[in-house]
Amino acid sequence: MRYDLIAVKDPADWRAFHDIRRQELFEAKGRFGIYNENHPDDHASFAHPYLLKLDGVPIGTTRLDVRSDGTAIFRLVAITAAEQGKGHGRAMERLVEERARALGATTLYVNAADTAVGFYRNTGWTEHSWDPIELVNISVNAVQMTKQI
């Protein structure tokens, strides 16, 4: 079993990245017709979009937003439904954390879906209100959490 965390650049990887996000973070939660594949933040200088592949097959996504103050934000974290609960989210979290450290971050933040708070607690995050202004739109019910790395 081999994991690869791919920095998304190739068209086929962008396709898989958007498909996983739309399905797991929008349509699986009843949010149809609002996912935007052309969101400018995905291409911003601070943004590092990643695709997790398991033995070459795309199974997970996240975007790491790295800021100049030593903080980085995990955004839109998802594992495909058929692969959830098998340890892949934990593996992706560890791999993205390594990238964050290499990019100069020492503090991580996330707006955790209320249903995913247990996942973050189990992977070393604690609840911390880091920027309440972020709790709008799809993050309105999110729980803000942090982790020192």
Ligand X SMILES: CC(C)(COP(=O)(O)OP(=O)(O)OC[C@H]1O[C@@H](n2cnc3c(N)ncnc32)[C@H](O)[C@@H]1OP(=O)(O)O)[C@@H](O)C(=O)NCCC(=O)NCCS
Give the binding site for ligand X (CB under 6 A).
24-25, 77-79, 84-90, 112-113, 115-116, 118-119, 122
Nearer to ligand X, 6 or 95 (CB): 95
CB of 89 to ligand X, least distance (A): 2
Instruction: Report CA torsion sign: 89, 47, 99, 4.
Output: positive
Cβ closest to ligand X, residue 67 vs residue 86: 86
| Whole-number Å distance between alpha carbons of 45 and 64 | 11
Q: Which residue, 84 or 146, is less far from ligand X as judged by CB?
A: 84
> Closer to ligand X at the Cβ: 58 or 89?
89
Starting at the earlier edge strand, list the strands of the sheet with 71-79: 3-7, 47-54, 57-66, 71-79, 107-112, 143-148, 126-127
For the chain, the first-to-last Cα distance in angstroms comes to 26
Closest approach, Cβ 128 to ligand X, in A, equals: 15
Minimum CB separation from ligand X for residue 145, in Å?
9
